A and B are shown apart, each in its own frame.
Chain A
Amino acid sequence: MADAAIQIENLTKDYPFGFLHLKTKRSLEGLTMQVEDGEVFGFLGPNGAGKSTTIKLLVGLTFPTAGNARILGKPISDISMHQDIGYLPEQPYFYDYLTAAELLDYFARIHNLRGVERRERVDRMLKKVGLETARKIQLRKYSKGMLQRVGLAQAILHDPRVVILDEPMSGLDPLGRREVRDIILELKREGRTVLFSTHILSDAEMLCDRVGVIAGGKLRGVGAPDEIVGIQAHGMEILFELLGVAASTPRSAALLGTAMKTGNRYRMHVEESELYATLDQLRETGARILSVTQMKASLEEFFMGLISADRAQANAVDVSGK
């Protein structure tokens, strides 16, 4: 599609290893997907799934073994493409002898920003990431969260149309994560395309228009977070508490047998078709219903399912190989 901000076709990456680099390990296999213009796309997967490999290929830090990708219609090998992208590396580290202002000024010069515009842009970015008071402190004295913020500032310094963030919430405290989330949402409001990798599932569910799930170097699914989770949606969860008198009856005791007690509260899982009958029974026993929630498999469970399937497949291959 011509409108896609990022278009990836059959992207494959093998890394050589061994003493003479004669063997290769496949880190990414035939990745084909696209990120639409203006959307926030979450790239999800467990560690070692191929998320960073994909991102490094996109920003030109590594070179594909096969396949190709285009960003805003330009091939990733085209250096002019880099003018329109911003990139935050995973666990970013910058020249520690520079201050935040000096680092941003350096990158602004690389982007050919000049004079007053350069200074204004640097000031604006430092303010945006909340580092204006720490602008003259050398980066060696920065905490991990502050470095992450500097990393974000340098990624969006030049007003890129596509922003690629590798694990932007990694290692941040809840406040830091919220700040990064706010910046991503602001980028979305400004109409920019954001691709970010993460294994923090709630962040992806909260921010993403669509997510792509990758495991073992292969893409396992692309869609809205709900769609992906919906693959394994099942059952309802009832949260209730029982009054002291009612809890001692035989009927309530039978119900309690299928519920899990946490403090004074009970949690019960039932099939959707049995929900109303169970609620009636609970009410008859004098239970007070606190909440009813549809149970969805979390993305974490989705990952676990994928990994288990991979292991089962690998074991099957081993057995048949013998």
Chain B
Amino acid sequence: MKRVGVVALNTFREAVRDRVLYNLVFFALLLMAAAVVVGQVSIGIEQIVIVNLGLSAISMIGLLMAVFIGVGLVSKEMDKRTLYALLAKPVRRWEFLLGKFGGLLLTLAINTAAMSAGLYAALFYVKHSLERADGLALVAIYFILLKLALVVALALLFSCYTTPLLAILFTAGLYVAGLFVKEMRGVHGDKMAPALQTFLRWLSYLLPNFENFDVMASAAHGRHIPAALILQNTVYAVLYGAIVLVAAVTIFSRRDLK
């Protein structure tokens, strides 16, 4: 397991030294600043605007990083053949994959933490104080991180057996589909064949349910977020992520590096 940590730290170092990353963070901070401006002109609903815009920025930037860097985790190493020298050393392929996954997750966690600090700074700037209810945004941020972990796992899986472009399309496609799982389960109508309804229902259980991770509106309006949902989302992300990673390891462990 020590080698997983070594690979993870190197992946983190790669992301930190990638200038694109700083552009994304700059863009996120710009959105925070915009939130402050919009919040100031939205008399009475400053908190709602700032929290909504801030959380959206954190989620969007995180997703962009998770998909684009996640897809490159394996494919870039194969294209540039940096992987060859590493895998000839006593590193198991699952150790490499878990290390890459952990490294990007660490990067995303630190970026999310930095952007969250920006969000709370914006809130403090507008309200001149922070209340207990503002802590709800932290739950929303935790859910964003869980969501990002799942997206990274999916990107890693696809990048193990297809081209980067297709891997981006598949990951983004699954993410969008995962936002509509409740709608898929609730499809009823005379015009739709029962077999198709059954298929959609089954499919909705197979797809990653990203809808459950969206509590931005609750956080913005100060509505209570049940502890059961926090536990459910945590368990779901861990189990689903583990299944996806096992699939990625299975595919990658048999892949020839030509």
Binary interface encoding of chain B residues 239-258 relative to chain A, with 1 for a CB under 8 A from any of its CBs, else 0: 00000000000000010111
When distances are taken between beta carbons in the complex, the residues of chain A under 8 Å from B92 are 79
- Bound-complex Cα distance A56 to B88 (A): 9
Q: Contacts A15-B256, A97-B18 hold; do A60 and B86 have CB atoms under 8 A apart?
A: no
Chain A: which residue is nearest B254 at the CB level?
Answer: A63
Q: Contacts A15-B258, A92-B85 hold; do A110 and B14 have CB atoms under 8 A apart?
A: no
Q: Flag if A107 contacts B89 (CB, 8 Å).
A: yes
- Bound-complex Cα distance A79 to B81 (A): 20
Near B by CB (< 8 A), chain A positions 70-121 give: 79-80, 82-83, 85, 87-89, 91-95, 97-98, 106-107, 109-112
Task: State which of B2-10, B66-74, B194-202, B217-225 sits at the interface with chain A.
Answer: B2-10
Q: Flag if B82 contacts A93 (CB, 8 Å).
A: yes
A59 located at the interface, meaning its Cβ lies under 8 Å from any Cβ of chain B in the complex: yes
Q: How far apart are A254's CB and chain B's nearest CB, in angstroms? A: 59
Residue numbers of A with Cβ under 8 A of B are 15, 56, 59-63, 79-80, 82-83, 85, 87-89, 91-95, 97-98, 106-107, 109-112, 151, 154-155
When distances are taken between beta carbons in the complex, the residues of chain B under 8 Å from A85 are 88
Q: How far apart are A235's CB and chain B's nearest CB, in angstroms? A: 43
From B6, B82, B88, B90, contact of A61 by CB (8 A): B88
When distances are taken between beta carbons in the complex, the residues of chain B under 8 Å from A151 are 85
Chain B: which residue is nearest A57 at the CB level?
Answer: B256
Chain B: which residue is nearest A94 at the CB level?
Answer: B82
When distances are taken between beta carbons in the complex, the residues of chain B under 8 Å from A112 are 2
- Bound-complex Cα distance A15 to B10 (A): 32
Chain B: which residue is nearest A85 at the CB level?
Answer: B88
- Bound-complex Cα distance A106 to B85 (A): 12
When distances are taken between beta carbons in the complex, the residues of chain B under 8 Å from A91 are 81
Q: Flag if A61 contacts B10 (CB, 8 Å).
A: no
Q: Flag if B89 contacts A61 (CB, 8 Å).
A: no
Some 5 contacts from A to B, beta carbons below 8 A apart, are A63-B256, A79-B90, A93-B81, A94-B82, A95-B82
- Bound-complex Cα distance A174 to B92 (A): 38
When distances are taken between beta carbons in the complex, the residues of chain A under 8 Å from B256 are 15, 61-63
Q: Flag if A97 contacts B88 (CB, 8 Å).
A: no
When distances are taken between beta carbons in the complex, the residues of chain A under 8 Å from B84 are 61, 87, 89, 92
When distances are taken between beta carbons in the complex, the residues of chain A under 8 Å from B2 are 112
Q: Flag if A89 contacts B3 (CB, 8 Å).
A: no
